[in-house]
Amino acid sequence: MAQKPSIPKGTRDFGQEEMAARNYIFDTIRSVYRTYGYVQIETPAMENLSTLLGKYGDEGDKLLFRILNSGDTFSGVDFESYRGGDGNVNSNKLSMKVCEKGLRYDLTVPFARYVVQHQNEIAFPFRRFQIQPVWRADRPQKGRYREFYQCDADVIGSKSQLNELELVQIVDRVFTKFGINVAIKINNRKVLTGLAEISGFPDKVTDITVAIDKLDKIGLDAVKEEMLGRGLSAQAIDVIEPVLNLQGTTAEKIETMRGLMQGNSASGIVSGTGLLGLDELTELFGYIDAAGISQKVEMDLSLARGLNYYTGAIFEVKALDYAIGSICGGGRYDNLTGIFGLPGMSGVGISFGADRIYDVLKGLDKFPGNIAGSATLLFANMDASVIGYLVPVVKRLREAGVSCELYPDQTKLKKQFDYADKKGIPFISINGGDEAASRSLNLKNLATGEQKSFSCDDIEGILAFLAI
Amino acid sequence: MAQKPSIPKGTRDFGQEEMAARNYIFDTIRSVYRTYGYVQIETPAMENLSTLLGKYGDEGDKLLFRILNSGDTFSGVDFESYRGGDGNVNSNKLSMKVCEKGLRYDLTVPFARYVVQHQNEIAFPFRRFQIQPVWRADRPQKGRYREFYQCDADVIGSKSQLNELELVQIVDRVFTKFGINVAIKINNRKVLTGLAEISGFPDKVTDITVAIDKLDKIGLDAVKEEMLGRGLSAQAIDVIEPVLNLQGTTAEKIETMRGLMQGNSASGIVSGTGLLGLDELTELFGYIDAAGISQKVEMDLSLARGLNYYTGAIFEVKALDYAIGSICGGGRYDNLTGIFGLPGMSGVGISFGADRIYDVLKGLDKFPGNIAGSATLLFANMDASVIGYLVPVVKRLREAGVSCELYPDQTKLKKQFDYADKKGIPFISINGGDEAASRSLNLKNLATGEQKSFSCDDIEGILAFLAI
């Protein structure tokens, strides 16, 4: 009784080539994280729902994959008690009864949970990176998956802008290694808070930032309309508007903003928070000048990002030569671990979007040529009497680091060539009784057709022919 | 409202040191798989329950973690229709209504599903490896987890015993790299089938193998009792018993068995299947002799393994110097993909038990000393005026491959030393205005106390001092 096999929508299988490409992305990011002294951790795929719920807003709660408690979960349940006034069972309430665990939605909340749980073992400031899949019950669509990897680095327990600098350096190094030209955009959430203060609506930071965050997508007029819709006055919007159109160097922009925050505003309020944010930006851009960043770095006061927990620096990275959304982002947060009982820990982090980076590398043809992931050399299998000669020879080459296959079955040579071709194996070795008698090996480069014979002891010559 | 954070029972967080140790294990296995031409794939954590159910027996079905369908899952459910005769709701039936997906239980069934789903893209024989976590709702206990990694390699689409040889070579190479002495035990399921045939109970292969599988644990007498309990006759057991106590070389044991299978049995049956199994063993051990295996390899006719889908070779690996169960195992199966609509594909695979290997390496103190995973060098932060000098210097060292940290905050030196100590950072660099003026660096080896000054341009000298 055969089933037609498939996988859940929004999930993916990764075959040889995609894995090789993805490993290249993860290995590159990992190696840069490591040179900056970030250490790797892993947390479980399943977290207690109490850890996850309420951290991502109501919408996020709905997108959590919940895991049914094991055992005879439903037998003692009084379903009637879960019916609401409309007579329908409240799915959310009942699922809280029958599900205690959920799949992690991101790596940030598990990281906060980890820091609090292990605070006595950790040396602060704690720099950790984490590369693991996350799961979201989002409606699947092009480029949006229900299972995808995040590649996060965070440092927690230090307020120094040197941490922001190093994250900018990491972003610079990673994309330079990838050969992707990017713009690294930087803002500071405190400046946005200051903006709300001088607009006369200090409690509308979220409304203002959510609106500003859409500037790129919907344009200035629509943003102004959105702000009006969110309860800001026309006068307030007049205060905010020039900020979205600042010109000049970073230092000049900061100076203009400083004037605004110091009281040249319609509200007459002096924003201490805004000035603090401008001081942080000045310090960070000073470090950036000292470090020398290869990629384009720019202050962008219209950058807000959606997440509400950022309290200081905000980062976003866009590819310059490929149209796609943000491929990396992050920022500073002051209160991430407070919800788990450890207040007052400031941290800053970034996250690389592996799927989009994959698309950019593919679209710009920037993947290195040598990452195919298959063997380098196929030994053809033609003659049973030669196997006893080949087995130890193949073994020695493998121990010298050559990825080899010995075709396991004695079939037509054509079939074995097709196999090498389909798998992208670049070299083949075909040997018979003569080679066994003279302890030699025939090697053939399948791309160029070049053929050469080597003594089976001439490992160095063989490696050179294989370009290893 | 602070929550006390915790993780679901049976799951684990992995910190810096455990991650470094685990990465060492995975990287070693992966590198050996690669030299044998195995290519990596990954499959989703979630599979359709229809893919998973019925593949692991009734007990396995109960151990699947099921994922609640998202949305308003319960609102339209007629709970009454799920009540059985006893008035209780049938949890299993209801969970089939509200859960379509489950977490993967192993890597073998997803692999079989993958092969069938992607059969037109795959070059057969297909050699794949896969290193991913699996989830089982087992009762957690010491050494048994609800989330753990499996490290599988399988080749499918070839019946040649050369595949078995290569898996034995992989096992040999991996454990030799680990510095763990092991015994690689080999048997063949066909021989066990033959045994059932000559005992006169050809339909009791499973009963016989399940009983034989317990030989190590419960001893010969209890195994005989178990066989009686499973419906075998005393005469049948008399036929089977001498096989469990075979003596001599592998060739001698095979010859003795061959005599038995050819008709010297109580039942008088000639077992063609058993003879075929003995032929396969003879071929495999011939290859093993040609290859030269460093570790101990032995035929063990009492080896059965629990899983019923094996049809040929069976492997099991035990550590010789550390008391723990099997640390690696596998075998050949002829029908893995049949259930998904692709019959007649023979394959053979192995799986390394990463958690047990971790315990063995730890117990025998065989982890390499240099895998701590933290930075090599900490730059102390003492003087704001020096930061502008240090930032580009640290950057150059990182680009030369040195994992460095620049302590982000200006605090007491004692605190920065403690940080290096707690994180296991072996070198520290303390610099002030003099060093900035002369463009030099002080380096100190924290273990030996050795101190030396270098020009900041002398990357080679610095690398040598850091023993990189």
Residue in A120, A159, A403 to test binding to B, most B beta-carbons within 10 Å: A403
pLDDT in tens, B322-343: 999 899 999 999 988 998 999 9
Note the ipTM here: 0.92
The residue among A420 and A210 whose pLDDT is bigger is: A420
Residue A265, pLDDT above cutoff 60: no
Q: Do B13 and A41 touch (CB under 8 A)?
A: yes
- Coil, strand, or helix at residue B441? strand
Q: How far is B468 from chain A (nearest CA, A)?
A: 13
- Which helix (DSSP H) or strand (DSSP E) does residue B156 occupy? strand B147-156
Q: How far is B423 from chain A (nearest CA, A)?
A: 6
Instruction: Give the span between the Cα atoms of A430 and A383, in whole angstroms.
Output: 10
pLDDT in tens, A382-421: 888 999 999 999 999 999 999 999 999 999 999 999 999 9
Q: Average pLDDT in the B209-237 region?
A: 88
Residue B260, pLDDT above cutoff 60: yes
pLDDT in tens, A178-209: 999 999 999 999 999 999 999 899 888 888 87
- List the single residue in B with minimal CA-CA distance to A34: B403
Task: Name the residue among B15, B66, B339 with its Cβ closest to that of A68.
Answer: B66
Would you say A240 and A199 are in contact if contact means Cβ atoms under 8 Å apart?
A: yes
pLDDT the model gives residue A215: 81
Residue in A162, A176, A428 to test binding to B, most B beta-carbons within 10 Å: A162
pLDDT in tens, B111-126: 999 999 999 999 999 9
Residue B306, pLDDT above cutoff 70: no
Q: How far is A366 from chain B (nearest CA, A)?
A: 21
Q: Which residues in B375-387 are b (16+ Cβ under 10 Å) and which e? A: bbbbbbbbbeebb
Confidence of residue B262 (pLDDT cuts 50, 70, 90): confident
Residue A355, pLDDT above cutoff 50: yes
Which residues of chain B does A115 touch, with a Cβ-Cβ cutoff of 8 Å?
none
Which residues of chain B does A313 touch, with a Cβ-Cβ cutoff of 8 Å?
none
Which residues of chain B does A423 touch, with a Cβ-Cβ cutoff of 8 Å?
39, 123
Q: Average pLDDT in the B368-388 region?
A: 89
Q: Average pLDDT in the A267-295 region?
A: 92
Residue B215, pLDDT above cutoff 50: yes
Q: Which residues contact A16 (CB under 8 A, 6 or more apart)?
A: A372, A373, A374, A423, B39, B40, B41, B128
DSSP state of A243: G
pLDDT the model gives residue A1: 45
Q: Do A63 and B70 touch (CB under 8 A)?
A: yes
Mean pLDDT, rounded, of chain B: 92
Question: The pTM is what?
Answer: 0.93
DSSP state of A259: H
pLDDT in tens, B160-207: 999 999 999 999 999 999 999 999 999 999 999 999 999 899 888 888
Q: How far is B286 from chain A (nearest CA, A)?
A: 9
Q: How far is A310 from chain B (nearest CA, A)?
A: 20
Task: Name the residue among B2, B12, B169 with its Cβ closest to that of A340.
Answer: B2
| Cβ-based neighbour number of residue B234 at 10 Å | 9
Q: Do B5 and A113 touch (CB under 8 A)?
A: yes
Pairs of CB atoms within 8 A across A/B: 325
Q: Do A42 and B13 touch (CB under 8 A)?
A: yes
Residue in B24, B25, B31, B35 to test binding to A, most A beta-carbons within 10 Å: B35
Exposed, middle or buried: residue A437 (CB in 10 Å: 0-12, 13-18, 19+)?
exposed
Instruction: Give the span between the Cα atoms of A164 and A13, in whole angstroms.
Output: 36
Q: Do B340 and A387 touch (CB under 8 A)?
A: no
Q: What one-character-per-residue DSSP string does A21-78 give?
A: HHHHHHHHHHHHHHHTT-EE-B--SEEEHHHHTTSSHHHHHHTPPEEEPSSSTTTT--
Instruction: Give the span between the Cα atoms of B178 and B176, in whole angstroms.
Output: 5
Confidence of residue B303 (pLDDT cuts 50, 70, 90): confident
Residue in B91, B149, B165, B416 to test binding to A, most A beta-carbons within 10 Å: B91
∠ Cα B124 B130 B133 (to 5°): 150
Q: Do A403 and B35 touch (CB under 8 A)?
A: yes
Task: Name the residue among B391, B403, B408 with its Cβ closest to that of A34.
Answer: B403
- List the single residue in B with minimal CA-CA distance to A343: B2
Instruction: Give the span between the Cα atoms of A51 and B37, in whole angstroms.
Output: 42
Residue B373, pLDDT above cutoff 80: no
Q: Do A66 and B66 touch (CB under 8 A)?
A: no
pLDDT the model gives residue B266: 55
pLDDT in tens, A141-161: 888 899 999 999 999 999 999
Task: Name the residue among A19, A68, A409 with its Cβ closest to that of B158.
Answer: A409
Sheet holding A427-429, edge to edge: A404-406, A377-379, A427-429, A440-445, A451-455
pLDDT the model gives residue B240: 85
Count of positions (residues) in chain A: 468
Mean pLDDT, rounded, of chain A: 92
The two counts, helices (H) then strands (E), for chain A are: 17, 16
Residue A2, pLDDT above cutoff 50: yes
Q: Do A123 and B422 touch (CB under 8 A)?
A: yes
Q: How far is B187 from chain A (nearest CA, A)?
A: 20
Confidence of residue B2 (pLDDT cuts 50, 70, 90): low
Q: How far is A413 from chain B (nearest CA, A)?
A: 14
Instruction: Give the span between the Cα atoms of A236 and A197, in whole angstroms.
Output: 10
Confidence of residue B157 (pLDDT cuts 50, 70, 90): very high
pLDDT in tens, B452-464: 999 999 999 999 9
Confidence of residue B1 (pLDDT cuts 50, 70, 90): very low
- Tell me how far CA of residue B56 lies from CA of A48, B137, B334, in angstroms: 27, 13, 17
